[in-house]
Chains A and B, each alone.
Chain A
Amino acid sequence: MPTSLVQNESILAIEVGSATTRAVLFDVVEGQYRFVAAGRAPSTAEAPFRDIGIGVREAISSLQEVTGGRLLGQDGNLIAPSQPDGSGVDSAVATISAGPIVRTVIVGLLPDVSIGSARHLAESTYSRVVETLDLSDHRKPDQQLDAILRARPDLVILTGGTDGGASRSMMKMLETVGLACYLMPQQKRPMALYAGNRELAGDVQELLGEHAGMLKISHNVRPALDEEDATSASGELAALFVNLRQRQLKGVDELNLWTGGNILPTSYAQGRMVRFLSRQYESTRGLLSVNIGASATTVAAGFGGDLVLRTYPQFGLGENLSGLLQHTDLESIMRWLPLDISPNTLREYLFQKSLYPGTLPATSDDQAIAQAIARQVMYLAVRAARRSFPVGGQASRDVLPSLDLIVAGGGAVSDGLSLGQSLLMLLDAIQPVGILPILIDQNNLLPLLGVAAARNNYLPVQVIDSGAFIGLGTVVSVSASAKYGEQILRAKMTYSDGTDARVDLKFGGLEVLPLSSGQTARLSLQPLQRADAGLGPGRSGSVTVTGGAMGVVIDGRGRPLQLPSDPVRRRETIKKWYYTVGG
């Protein structure tokens, strides 16, 4: 069993979200790192508080109440390192997603090549692309300059040219960006990331070094035309994001001091962990992590160590909800509702919630609306990210490739829901295919493990192995072309004691077979009508499945999921599904 490199070091991990701030304590118990406890408080980045430090201290105070230990001194400062009387912690780390959306200008050469890579970089953090400059842009340089100034960017991402490749066109655009930065007031100059042709790095330094708010130069994100490697650029972008937040939000400087500079954007930390896990567990088909929060919905998928990281502020459940209808329609949200409400009520809900993003649903009806919105934003985010996944043998880009594991986090998928409701939400929104386990990250630990890994490599593995995530169980999703109610699968689960359970699955149905956490069983699947239960169309076979809080769930509702078009029947069907997973 591995031992920690830093022995017995307790770590306080803080996540500053736009609605909630969490403080989580990791410590060594019986020689292994464990998740000890978590405290939370409303975030205070916004008015009237406008100091994240208030929320951070309240979250730590809440953690103190849980653990009984003292982490804050009389002066309100973090006690570090830990003291002989047991107070304090040895070190602290933090992630941050709070703050205004990062207005981003992307600059590159070819729209489908370097601009594509710049867009991927922008989508890896909490940004919105507000202006694009590339070779297809026929505006004059002064018009481009005015466009950048009007865009009021917080960040400029410059890509373009393979290493040793084109430079002249890139230089022209660099000059325009440099001039634009020069013309902006000093305190409003954007952060700049250069991730293009490395031979231009010196020129970039000369043109932008003095005029950008801060300049980072990374390895080329497109070292060759057919190769994209965002590893170095993503790291530099994460550093720029934290610097930007230091400039924008009071209290980030102090947190930076407490953590010795160990602050990462929450989405980046989540991605780092997913990449690590996909390597650690040798995931060949892919590991998908979805985190749905007030700032954004983040989708991170690891494919054998390659990471797809997409952060969608437009699909956040906070202030950006007022803009959600630019990306979807009311009917698409209402299809998930077991309630009969008017479209206007839903529209009012979206706008009212955007005024008070930190508020919580107090009633079950309010919670049902919140869950319907969460389903739709998760559905949209996963579909948007799916475009960057390997094709995975699926005929349609709307259907996910077969994956090894799904881990979901964020208050919307766990707070106030039964585990069955959480599972149903994930099945509805993600619509996985094939056979795979699903985990819930109830305490939103994944990003915090990602940033804590910088302090101790063993911590994430040991914390995950200790069961910090809740295994909901194994899901078998059956794709079929059938009529509602037609039988599409016969399944038999044989338990380790020799007993068995059988189920005949009908199209549109959902079946649950009990299997406790930690137990395994043999599941025989016999598809009918060329249905695909993860073994190929019409193919029968047996697989070993692991249990979980919900056992083994067989989802025969089709891929993409088919919902009855009649609203009354749809609501009844949704209630029936809720009932199947335990209400």
Chain B
Amino acid sequence: MLAPVLHVLPLTTIVRERVLPVAGKVNASVNQKVNPTDVVAEATFAREHVLLDVARAFGVTAKAADKMIKVKEGDRLSQGAVVAENGGFISRAIKAPRAGRVMVAGGGQVLMEVGEARIELRAGLPGVVTRIVPERGVVIRTVGALIQGTWGNGRVENGLMTSLIEKEDDVLTADRLDVSLRGSVILGGHVRDQETLRAAADMPVRGLIISSLNVSLIQPAMQMKYPILVLDGFGAMPMNSAAFQLLPTHNKNEVTVNAEFPDRYSGGRPEVVIPKQVENEPEEPQDFVPFAVGQRVRLRRSPHTGMIGSIADLPEGLSKLPSGLHAPAAEVKLENGEAALVPLVNLEVVG
């Protein structure tokens, strides 16, 4: 059976595709170095449309109205520009109510898109552009530490990371956030109250990387303007030891927090990237591998959610679990010395 891999790696090669949701213009070129906040592609899209019913306004057939329409598809119009004119003895005109672009003209009607909005696509990580996705975005390659999480509030930022975590089950509280941390990315433990999120916003910080989040704070976290990346999940959970051993060692390093909202179909997931300069580029990590004895694994469900262990045995066939279920399972030796029989679907390989 294949196992999903949670990447918690001190040094690896990271390749990520960044694309716009709609077609637009790519600003970067192949081999260009980019920073996380660089805009690599941009697009404009219409927030609204205006339908001008020329035939109805002039009281004529659609065919007759088409002859009165003075604009064509693709025309950019300023507010008040003439869209159609009936050309009678006392000529009447239909004018563009707002500036915009003609999308369709025909059938006695004109459809304009108005209220253009702009989308800017940021690189999201520092690196080198290796490929252009025409009209959509880029593929970026970088080398560094990679730490993946389970949930993010959809924001991206980079900055110097300050570690405020001393043990895995630390709680990050508002009183630990002082003015000296302004502009930092904070590494903390569990966040249990809204006051902490607000205090971080007031600083402001450039991001929070935390072990876990009180489930009632999901909505407030979505409202925050800075990235919040949750490593292990919801509820009072300690930081998994793999992340705890790696992240604090990069205290005061420049980190990129891509608190991408997890998307199970596109594969997007929140991650921290800490760029490093190396002579020899390491291999790209695999996203899934077959289960094997000796693998380091993270448990994804109670009673040991977030804990790290290693596979001691992979019994053949189905194992009977204490829940009464029969499922393929692994004997896992947890870091606290306990042993547990865990369904394979509750495990992800750390690597």
Asked whether A360 lies within 8 Å of B48 as measured between CB atoms, the reply is: no
In B244-269, the 8 Å CB interface with A consists of: 262-269
Asked whether B235 lies within 8 Å of A352 as measured between CB atoms, the reply is: yes
Considering the complex, give the chain B residue whose CB is closest to the CB of A344: B215
Q: A42-B345, A47-B265, A351-B234 are in contact. Are A360 and B51 (CB under 8 A)?
A: no
How far, in angstroms, from A319 to B263 measured CA to CA in the complex?
11
| A582 → B minimal CB distance (Å) | 13
The segment from B30-38, B74-82, B174-182, B301-309 found at the interface with A is B301-309
How far, in angstroms, from A45 to B265 measured CA to CA in the complex?
7
Give the interface centre of A45, A145, A366, A415 by most chain B CB atoms within 10 Å: A366
Per-residue interface assignment for chain A, residues 335 to 376, with 1 indicating a CB less than 8 Å from any chain B CB and 0 otherwise: 000000000110111011101101111111111000000000
Q: A362-B323, A416-B321, A417-B324 are in contact. Are A49 and B301 (CB under 8 A)?
A: no
Asked whether B48 lies within 8 Å of A142 as measured between CB atoms, the reply is: yes
In A410-425, the 8 Å CB interface with B consists of: 415-418
Contacts of B218 in A (CB 8 A): 351
Q: A45-B265, A100-B265 are in contact. Are A362 and B234 (CB under 8 A)?
A: no
Contacts of A100 in B (CB 8 A): 265
A140 within 8 A of B: yes
Contacts of B216 in A (CB 8 A): 344, 347
The segment from B1-9, B121-129, B153-161, B274-282 found at the interface with A is B1-9
Contacts of B323 in A (CB 8 A): 360-364, 366-367, 416
A41 within 8 A of B: yes
In B304-344, the 8 Å CB interface with A consists of: 305, 321-327, 340-344
Contacts of A179 in B (CB 8 A): 51, 104, 111
B301 touches which of A50, A362, A364, A415 (Cβ 8 Å) = A362
Per-residue interface assignment for chain A, residues 27 to 67, with 1 indicating a CB less than 8 Å from any chain B CB and 0 otherwise: 00000000000000110111111100010001000000000
How far, in angstroms, from A349 to B300 measured CA to CA in the complex?
12
Asked whether A360 lies within 8 Å of B265 as measured between CB atoms, the reply is: no
Considering the complex, give the chain B residue whose CB is closest to the CB of A100: B265
Considering the complex, give the chain B residue whose CB is closest to the CB of A354: B234
A390 within 8 A of B: no
| B292 → A minimal CB distance (Å) | 16
A146 within 8 A of B: yes
How far, in angstroms, from A319 to B262 measured CA to CA in the complex?
11
Contacts of A46 in B (CB 8 A): 264-265
| A319 → B minimal CB distance (Å) | 7
Q: A47-B265, A50-B267, A351-B234 are in contact. Are A360 and B2 (CB under 8 A)?
A: no
How far, in angstroms, from A230 to B268 measured CA to CA in the complex?
38
Asked whether A364 lies within 8 Å of B324 as measured between CB atoms, the reply is: yes
B151 within 8 A of A: yes
| A150 → B minimal CB distance (Å) | 9
In A427-480, the 8 Å CB interface with B consists of: none
Give the interface centre of B23, B50, B111, B264 by most chain A CB atoms within 10 Å: B264
Give the interface centre of B4, B103, B266 by most chain A CB atoms within 10 Å: B4
Asked whether B51 lies within 8 Å of A141 as measured between CB atoms, the reply is: yes
Contacts of A361 in B (CB 8 A): 301, 321, 323, 325
Considering the complex, give the chain B residue whose CB is closest to the CB of A180: B49
Interface residues on B, range: 35 or more
Contacts of B103 in A (CB 8 A): 183
A359 touches which of B50, B265, B303, B345 (Cβ 8 Å) = B345
Contacts of B23 in A (CB 8 A): 185
B144 within 8 A of A: no
B196 within 8 A of A: no
Asked whether A48 lies within 8 Å of B5 as measured between CB atoms, the reply is: yes
A367 touches which of B1, B267, B325, B327 (Cβ 8 Å) = B325
In A141-163, the 8 Å CB interface with B consists of: 141-142, 145-146, 149
B241 within 8 A of A: no
Asked whether A146 lies within 8 Å of B48 as measured between CB atoms, the reply is: yes
| A337 → B minimal CB distance (Å) | 15
How far, in angstroms, from A146 to B111 measured CA to CA in the complex?
12
Contacts of A364 in B (CB 8 A): 322-324
How far, in angstroms, from A183 to B112 measured CA to CA in the complex?
11
A529 within 8 A of B: no
Q: Which 9 residue pairs across A and B have the least CB separation, nearest first?
A: A47-B267, A416-B325, A48-B287, A348-B235, A416-B324, A367-B323, A142-B51, A46-B264, A359-B301
- Known contacts A42-B344, A50-B267; 19 additional CB pairs below 8 A are A47-B263, A47-B269, A48-B288, A142-B49, A142-B51, A185-B23, A352-B235, A358-B345, A359-B300, A360-B321, A360-B327, A361-B321, A362-B325, A362-B340, A362-B346, A366-B303, A367-B324, A415-B326, A416-B326
28 contacts between A and B (CB under 8 A): A41-B1, A46-B264, A48-B288, A49-B288, A50-B265, A99-B265, A100-B265, A141-B51, A142-B51, A145-B111, A179-B111, A185-B23, A319-B264, A344-B215, A349-B302, A352-B233, A352-B301, A353-B301, A355-B150, A361-B321, A362-B301, A362-B303, A364-B324, A365-B303, A366-B302, A366-B323, A416-B324, A417-B324
B residues apposed to A, CB below 8 Å = 1-2, 4-5, 22-23, 47-51, 103-104, 111, 150-151, 215-216, 218, 233-235, 262-269, 287-288, 300-303, 305, 321-327, 340-346
